[in-house]
Every structure is written in structure tokens, then in C-alpha cells.
Structure 1
Amino acid sequence: MDREEKDFLLEKVMIEYGDELVRLAFSYLKDTETAKDIVQNTFIKCYKNVDSFRYDSQIKTWLYRITINECKDYLKSWNYKMVQVKNFINTTAKSISPSVEKTVIDKYNSEEIKVTVFSLPKVYREVVYLYYYDSLKTEEIAQVLDIPVNTVKTRLRRAKQRLKPMIKEAELNGR
């Protein structure tokens, strides 16, 4: 593939999948700017490695896999761990302020479901996100995560089982 074809392909996938990939990265990282950086890295890797792409799967599935791997690498990094410590310190210091409490309460209703999903363990959260938010089929999720289709189905079922009481509890508490 010559440079012009690679440029065209990159532009096409950036337009077509950019927002989806940012949402996917955000589901792992919970930070918009970092998610955008991760997706930028995904597109760089796509550009560099498109010649080795075998078309065994859709390019979308390949981009999802790259993005997820980039997110997992970032979450293991020293930089991420230091950011988490700083955020914890800042949050603890700010929690004394009543305006922060009010802000959290105001935002809670719109964020309730997202928070509930994000509270799931990663193995359940990622399949729920890919299935319900990105509308991937179980077969596509299996390819993206490199796991068997039945594992995807099991994780979806178990995630639903875990979410059901959490949502009922939130409703009972008047949230």
C-alpha cells in the first residue's frame, strides 16, 4: 500500500471510528483527554502497521483491539499510578468543601447508570460497554477481546446479574 492509500485509509477510519474509540478508551480510563491521547496512539499504530493487517477481521475490530491494549498498557504504567495518587489527594482535600458535594449530587442522577456500570469488575464492564454502548455483536466482542464467544455470553449474563440488584438498590434509596 503506497503512502497516498495509507493516508486515505487513515483519514477514513479516523472519521468513521474516532468517536467510538474515544468512548471505548474513556470506559477504561475515565479521563477524556487521556482517552483522546490513547486513540491518537491507536491511529499512529494503525498507520504504521496497516501493511501487516491481514483482513482476518474487520478493521473496526482491529482498531478496538489496539485501543483496548493501549488502555491496558496505560493502566499498568507508572504515569497512571502517579496520576491516581495525585487525584486521590486532591479529591480528599476538596471533599471538605460543600460545593463539591452539591455538584456531585446534581450530577448523580444523569451519571447513575454509567457509574453503576463502571463499578463492575473490568471483565464485566468491558463486555457490557462493547455490547450495549458500542453495539458490537458477541462474536465481534470475542474477536476484540481475544476470548471465546461463550465467555462473552457468560460475562454478559453475569454482568446483568450483578447490575440488577445494584439498580434496584439505587431506586430504593431514591436516587
Structure 2
Amino acid sequence: MGHSKAFHPSYDKEGIKELQSNPALAIEKIMDMYGDEIKRLVFAYLKNAADTDDVTQEVFVTIYQKLNTFQGNSTLKSWIYSIAINKCKDYLRSWHARNKRLREKLITSSHTQKKEEITPEELTLQKDHSSELLQTVMNLPIKYREVIILFYFKDLSTKEISEVLNMNEATVRTRLNRGRLKLKDSLSAEKGGVNHG
């Protein structure tokens, strides 16, 4: 599989029309650009390699089917991420429906918190993709895990995340803050250190 890391064009309206005129070629280009990225994103939700392959395949089938409905109101990347995340959530919902009750109702915080100077935890998140850190992120509840992954590992802004997850920006910030605190606690617990806040 080709790693076209630097090749992430932002398609303008013309570029989108060109893609839509030839869906078979478009899906090849999209898979080449985003295939690995989407697979990693799906794995972050499902935490299971076999299910990841199935759902990733479904994501690209859906992109192929819906490509002509994309109107360019968001970036192509945000649109693709939305499809991938919705597929993951559908899958998790159907799989867990029998066993789990929905306890995941977050009371949206109406007050937004300003992003202060970068903290050492944030720096670690941005620079360190080590398996230990990733494992700790993967153990977070999904509502925190998804925003942490999208913000730090996928470099999406809080505005893009709010579009992708279809929630308001204040909720995204609240979840990011809470997720960071949970991550900090887990990391200091693992290291046996005392958390001085």
C-alpha cells in the first residue's frame, strides 16, 4: 500500500467535480490518500483487527456510493472521517446494544474553556506516538478517546472535530479537557507517580 503522506490535496469545487465524474478512479485516489489513516481511525474505535478490516471496507464502499452527494461544504477529509466514524458507531451500537445500556449522555458544558499554553501532557501527545501512550489513549472511554485521537493524532481543529462528530464546539473542548485529565491520571498511575495536578 502506497504511503502518500505529503500528498493530501485539498480539493476545490473543480477537483471534486472531477472526482465525481469518475467514481472508480476517485475511490482509488481516496484509498491511496486516506486508506491507512482511515484504517487506523477505525481501529481506534473498534480495537479489533478483524472487525477493523470489515468496517474499513464498508467505509470505502459507502464513500464510493455517496461520492456524488458530497457538495464540498466541508473538506473532503472531514467528510470521509464523518462516514468512517458513523460506520464505527453503527457497528459498536449494533454489537453492544444487547449488553450495554446507554450511560454515555454527556451534559454539555455551556461555558467554553480557553486553550491555555501548551502543557507537558499535550506536548507528549503531539510528539510521542509510542505504543504505551497509544495504549493508554485506547483505554479511555470512547467519547474522550475519539476527540483525543482526532485532535492530537489526526491534527483536526476543534471546529473540524465538531463538524465530523456533529456536536457543538463547546462539547468538543469539554471532552478534550476531560480526556486530557483522564489521560494524565492514567499515565501518572502507570508510572507509579503522585499526581500533583
TM-score range, shorter chain: 0.7 to 0.9
- What amino acid does structure 2 have at the position aligned with 1:49? K
2:57 match: 40
1:163 match: 183
- What amino acid does structure 2 have at the position aligned with 1:156? L
Cα shift at 1:115: 2.5
Structure 1: segments with no counterpart, 5+ residues? 83-109
- CA offsets 1:42-86 (integer angstroms, 9 cap, x no match): 11111111111111111111111111111111112259979xxxx
Q: Does 1:12 align with 2:32?
A: no
Higher helix share: 1
- What amino acid does structure 1 have at the position aligned with 2:165? L
Larger Rg belongs to? 1
2:135 match: 115
**Cα 1:79–1:143, aligned 2, differ >3 Å: closer, same or farther?**
closer
Cα shift at 1:26: 0.2
How far apart in 2 are the matches of 1:25 and 1:74? 11
How far apart in 2 are the matches of 1:19 and 1:148? 28
* Displaced runs of 4 or more, over 4 A: 1-4, 78-82
Contact persistence 1:124–1:155 (CA under 8 A): yes
Cα shift at 1:17: 0.5
- What amino acid does structure 1 have at the position aligned with 2:176? L
Count of aligned pairs: 146
1:126 match: 146
**Cα 1:172–1:3, aligned 2, differ >3 Å: closer, same or farther?**
closer
Cα shift at 1:4: 6.1
Contact persistence 1:75–1:81 (CA under 8 A): no
**Cα 1:138–1:2, aligned 2, differ >3 Å: closer, same or farther?**
closer
Contact persistence 2:42–2:88 (CA under 8 A): yes
Between the aligned residues of both structures, percent identity stands at: 40
Taking structure 2 as the reference length, the TM-score comes to 0.67
- CA offsets 1:125-172 (integer angstroms, 9 cap, x no match): 100011111111111111110111221111111111111121111111
**Cα 1:80–1:151, aligned 2, differ >3 Å: closer, same or farther?**
closer
How far apart in 1 are the matches of 2:151 and 2:157? 6
- Structure 1 vs Structure 2 CA RMSD: 2.4
Structure 2: segments with no counterpart, 5+ residues? 1-17, 100-129
How far apart in 1 are the matches of 2:95 and 2:143? 22
**Cα 1:169–1:112, aligned 2, differ >3 Å: closer, same or farther?**
same
